[in-house]
Amino acid sequence: HFLLLALADTRQLQLLHFCLLLGISLAALLGNGLIISAVACGHHLHTPMFFFLLNLALSDLGSICTTVPKAMHNSLWDTSTISYAGCAAQVFLFLLFIGIEFSLLTIMCYDRYMSICKPLHYGTLLGSRACAHMAAAAWTTAWTSGFLNALLHTANTFSLPLCHGNALGLFFCEIPQILKLSCSHSKLRELGLIVLGACLGFGCFVFIIFSYVQIFRAVLRIPSEQGR
């Protein structure tokens, strides 16, 4: 098993942290739940943008539910342990949902870019059937890329031998903290994968920034304030 970082030493602070985490979880559940309910029940919201927004809300809920409940459990019951399998599952699920969020945000930016900067092409490309096909393809791409990325990093990290104890420096399992416990000669492969993942994430970030710059330019070119 691994030892997670305790959020507090005194019982009063542990209960306070539990209440704070519970409040954050309920707020996230309420906010994302409202988005999911609105998109699912509103037929006029069945468009690619809101379809992606619904999936983004689901992935956000997933990433929160992956890490926060264990921290709440540890604060409430005054413990700091997590099993090896539980840690691996936490790393995999967290990476999965974060990867999905990155993919969805990138796809949503492209969707907004097409609808604002090239509205005629957007209407042609996104008829009712094409709209469903594009949304399904984007959803499949996001989940597949997130799954493969999470599986690759999790399998590679937990195949490394550990030489420096089992105490992690965070309240949830994270790859950099686990690498600190591994033998120095064994972690170069995972570090390379992290650098590759960071480059892909940076590429998504650059694409998002570029899309929004083009959107702002298109809006500012609209002659009247009423037209904007």
Give mean pLDDT, residues 199-225.
Answer: 83
What pLDDT does 27 receive?
92
User: pTM for this structure?
Assistant: 0.79
Give mean pLDDT, residues 80-92.
Answer: 87
38-80 pLDDT, tens digit per residue, is: 988 888 877 777 878 888 888 889 888 888 888 888 888 888 8
Q: Which residues contact 173 (CB under 8 A, 6 or more apart)?
A: 2, 4, 82, 87, 88, 90, 91, 94
In a domain, 174, yes or no: yes
Instruction: Please determine, for residue 226, whether its predicted confidence score (pLDDT) is greater than 60.
Output: no
118-170 pLDDT, tens digit per residue, is: 777 666 665 556 656 666 676 677 778 778 888 888 888 888 787 777 788 77
In a domain, 100, yes or no: yes
In a domain, 117, yes or no: yes
Using DSSP, state whether 175 is helix, strand or coil: helix
What pLDDT does 96 receive?
86
In a domain, 38, yes or no: yes
In a domain, 226, yes or no: no
In a domain, 96, yes or no: yes
- Burial code (b: 16+ CB inside 10 Å, e: under 16) for 59-79 equals bbbbbbebbbebbbebbeeee
Quote the tokens at residue 19.
Answer: 């209440």
- Burial code (b: 16+ CB inside 10 Å, e: under 16) for 151-164 equals eebbebbbebebee
Instruction: Please determine, for residue 28, whether its predicted confidence score (pLDDT) is greater than 60.
Output: yes
Count how many domains the chain has.
Answer: 1
Q: The CATH number of the domain where 136 resides is what?
A: 1.20.1070.10
What pLDDT does 51 receive?
79
What pLDDT does 227 receive?
53
Q: Which is nearest to 165 in space by CA: 178, 184, 176?
A: 178
| Residues 65/22, Cβ–Cβ less than 8 Å | no
Range of the domain at 191: 2-220
Q: What is the pLDDT confidence band of residue 190, given thresholds at 50, 70 and 90? A: low
In a domain, 203, yes or no: yes
